[in-house]
Amino acid sequence: MMTRDKNNILYNNRKINNNSIMFTIIIIIALCFSILGGMRLVQADESVEYEKNFYAIEVQTGDTLTSIAQEYAQSKADYQDYMEEVIEINQLKDDKIHAGCYLMIPVYTEVSSK
């Protein structure tokens, strides 16, 4: 009787270990697919060439860096990067801007697709 109980315990432990291993393998495969998929999205964006120009704009009442980014950035995903670039170009200490001031902003124009 004792050996049968030991065998059942060993069998159950192996079963648990096998399930853990399978779960880990599935997670690794899922991560690989998501990483490779993300790389394809980045590569798709890199296939477009942009020309960068600078314009001076006067800040209007109610303007924020976010509203300027929404108007001039290439996509919603680029808003934060665009705002950081405007802050750097204009040597601002933070994201506060005031009506009547002028900002140099980058404007990207699509030139061609590779």
Q: For residue 57, how far is the Cα from the chain centroid?
A: 28
pTM, 2 dp: 0.55
Given this model, what pLDDT does residue 66 score? 93
Helix (H) or strand (E) holding 111: strand 102-113
**List of the chain residues with pLDDT < 70:** 1-23, 27, 29-46, 113-114
Report which residue type is found at 81.
Answer: D
38 and 59 co-located in one domain: no
- Asked whether residue 53 falls in the same domain as residue 102, the answer is yes
pLDDT for the residue numbered 60? 96
Mark whether 78 and 92 lie in a shared domain. yes
| CATH number of the domain enclosing 105 | 3.10.350.10
What is the residue range of 9's domain? 1-46
Q: Structurally, how many domains does the chain consist of?
A: 2
For tokens 């960068």, name the residue.
52
Question: pLDDT tens, 64-94?
Answer: 999 999 999 887 778 899 999 999 999 999 9
Closest by alpha carbon to 64, among 97, 39, 29? 97
